[in-house]
């Protein structure tokens, strides 16, 4: 079956530091890959996505590249802000699966200090 593994958290950084959150996956076929962000007390918001190998998703300074050879979709940001503090979830949707059926990683808590 499908699965997603994220790096263990929590991650604590100073403002303007570089961020990497690792994500690897196992899936059959050609999945689509996503990063969602969850702010305290809120639901999930789609941060970025990639639907095929070598695609790069980007949004709000965050980037992730779909690497089929390493089955990875690592999230990066060059300079984090305090407002980026949240929980980040990597997720996949299996090929041919309906839009909303996703497999999530366990989440990584990010705290950014001024």
Residue 44 parent element (H or E): strand 44-50
Which listed range, 15-23, 37-45, 54-62, 71-79, lies at the site for other proteins (CB under 8 A)? 37-45
What three-state secondary structure class fits 89?
Answer: strand
Q: Is the dihedral of CA 45, 40, 9, 77 positive or negative?
A: positive
Residues 48-87 that bind other proteins (CB under 8 A): 49
Identify the residue among 4, 27, 33, 75 touching other proteins (CB under 8 A): 4
- The answer to the question of residue 89 lying near other proteins (CB under 8 A) is yes
- Minimum CB separation from other proteins for residue 106, in Å? 5
Least distance CB 5 / other proteins (angstroms)? 10
Cβ contacts of 57 within 8 Å, gap of 6 or more: 33, 34, 35, 48, 49, 50, 63, 64, 65, 66
Q: Work out whether 43 is an interface residue with other proteins (CB under 8 A).
A: yes
How many residues make contact with other proteins (CB under 8 A)? 21
Count of other CB atoms within 10 angstroms of residue 36: 21
The candidate with the shortest Cα–Cα distance to 46, out of 103, 109, 88, is 88
Q: Which is nearer to other proteins, 79 or 106 (CB)?
A: 106
Does position 3 interact with other proteins (CB under 8 A)? The reply is no
């Amino acid at each position: 079956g499908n699965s997603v593994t994220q790096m263990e958290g929590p991650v604590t950084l100073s403002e303007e530091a570089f961020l990497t959150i690792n994500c690897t996956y196992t899936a059959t076929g050609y999945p689509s890959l996503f990063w969602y962000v969850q702010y305290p007390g809120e639901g999930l918001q789609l941060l970025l996505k990639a639907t095929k190998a070598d695609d790069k998703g980007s949004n709000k300074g965050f980037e992730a590249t779909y690497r089929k050879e390493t089955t990875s979709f690592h999230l990066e940001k060059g300079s984090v802000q305090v407002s980026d503090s949240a929980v980040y979830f990597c997720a996949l949707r299996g090929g041919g699966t309906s839009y909303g059926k996703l497999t999530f990683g366990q989440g990584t808590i990010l705290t950014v200090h001024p």
